Amino acid sequence: MAYDFGFLNTLEEFDVALQENDAVFVYFNSSSCNVGEALAPKVMNLIENKFPKMKFYYVDREMSPEIAGKYSIFVEPTILTFFVGKETLRKSRHFSMDELEKEMSRPYSIIFE
C-alpha cells in the first residue's frame, strides 16, 4: 500500500489539518524544483517508517501562494513540522534524512510515547 498523504491548497485546509492532527509534516515544493521532487519520496518513506502517527501534507508553493506567504516559505523544498499545532521544526533546501529524523524524534516521542 502506498503511503497516505494529503494536499493542502488553502489556508483553511491548512488550519483544519493542524486542528485535526497532533503531528503534521508539511512539505513545500513545486514541480519546477528538481531537488524537491527527488527528495519527496525519501521524506515520505522516513515519515511512514519512523513517524507513522504523523500526517504528511504536500503544498505546491506556486499553486498556494497564500500558504507560502503566511508561513514565510521562500525556497524549495522547505519542510515544517507541527506538534499539537505548534511549529517545531523548519528545514529548507539542504538537509539530510538522518538530521531530519534526529530532530523529529524527541518531539514525536514526547507526544506519542
Q: How much is the pTM?
A: 0.92
Closest C-alpha among 101, 107, 2 to residue 46:
101
Query: Whole-number mean pLDDT of the chain?
Result: 91
pLDDT class of 2 with cuts at 50, 70, 90? very low
**Residue whose cell numbers read 489556508:** 11
Domain 6-112: top CATH class: alpha beta
Measure the CA–CA gap between 34 and 9, rounded to whole angstroms. Answer: 21
> What residues does each domain of the chain span?
6-112
Tell me the per-residue pLDDT of 42-68, one tens digit each, with 9 for 90 and over.
999 999 999 999 999 999 999 999 999
Cis peptide before 52 (omega within 30 of 0): no
